[in-house]
Amino acid sequence: MKIALDAMGHDDGPGPLVDGAVLALREFPQISKLILTGDNAQLEALLKKHGCNDSRIEIVHTTQVVEMHDSGIDAVRKKKDSSVSRAIDLVKSGAAEAVVSAGNTGAAVAACTIKLRMLPGIDRPAIATFMPNIKDRFTCVLDLGANVDCSAEHLLQFAVMGSALTTATEGHAQPVVGLLNIGEEVIKGSEVIKRAGELLRAVAASGHLNYLGNVEGDDIFKGTVDVVVCDGFVGNVALKSNEGVAKMMNAMIRQEFERNLFTKLAALVAMPVLRRFKARVDPRRYNGAALLGLKGLVFKSHGGADAFSFGQALIRAHDAARNRLLDGVQDAIVGTMQALPPTGGESVQQAA
């Protein structure tokens, strides 16, 4: 498995990314090559600091860095020798099987869409990640911000891609899919949501998708379904809310040690449970969102990720490549084309 790493995309520079890369290589010998794109001098100095001379690491020198304030299109047009652009080029040429970036999301989406192009039958890329649920498993949620306005056909495509991702990385043969709505009843929601429900039910009736129906926000964390589909605006709010709750719970745990002797003793007794809970909701554990729908595997890490969380993103990219996620998405799209109503799924029908 050869993975390209945009090594200059972190909020705090390449340091945390190199830390994560070294950690991932140490823990996962399955990674046969890790190609770091970025400033050669900085990257070599950081690797030397770790005492890392792993032969699986290769550096591709770049002269430009995409900043967070750069627009997506400008980053592609004016910074062709940026670390993110060169990393995506490696996937396009076949030199790498997946790319991981913690940089400017807009630039990454724009560069991937222009350079890699979309898979046949997919109109837009979608960002998908996994959130913990009370069943000690994860719920795949998409889209998380790539598309603010979505059509019913886009939501159907997201459902198919999310299902394929869950099968490839979580091992669910027939993941259950739900459409995020303001209620379970089919009459609720916007016209787009109602139309998306019709398309999803039609595909499910043919046996090409395991669709449950409408779900609500709390179903993400209840584990009612394996995949939750929504537009990028709603999905991003859900993601940031979940991260906020996790931070709040961690802060509350710390505060219990600062109140008085009784609460300190009680907290010490409960510490094993508190630690397990903290680990379970830790956003670092599910860092690494997949950018689905492209002719290449792309994973987006949080811009402020630490070494542990960035290592998790690298492992998700590795697992997706090992389990042939691209083939799974393409097969799933082709498998749904006959099930769509004549007036729906134009891109999928064209792909046939």
pLDDT band at 201; cut points 50, 70, 90: very high
Residue among 113, 190, 186 nearest 150 (CA): 190
pLDDT for res 277: 58
**Domains, in order of start, for the chain:** 2-123+285-328 (3.40.718.10), 126-283 (3.40.718.10)
pLDDT band at 334; cut points 50, 70, 90: confident
pLDDT band at 305; cut points 50, 70, 90: confident
Helices (H) and strands (E) in the chain, counts: 13, 11
Compute the average pLDDT of residues 102-110. 85
Compute the average pLDDT of residues 144-149. 87
Residue among 72, 340, 35 nearest 195 (CA): 340
List, for residues 44-86, the tens digit of each pLDDT value: 999 999 888 888 999 999 999 888 777 778 778 888 899 999 9
pLDDT for res 253: 65
Model's pTM, two decimal places? 0.82
List, for residues 243-299, the tens digit of each pLDDT value: 776 677 667 666 766 666 666 666 666 666 656 656 666 667 778 889 999 999 999
Q: Which pairing describes strands 138-142 and 126-132: parallel, antiparallel, or unpaired?
A: antiparallel
As a 3-state breakdown, the chain gives helix, strand, coil percent values, each rounded to 5, of 50, 15, 35
List, for residues 13-39, the tens digit of each pLDDT value: 888 889 888 988 888 888 889 999 999
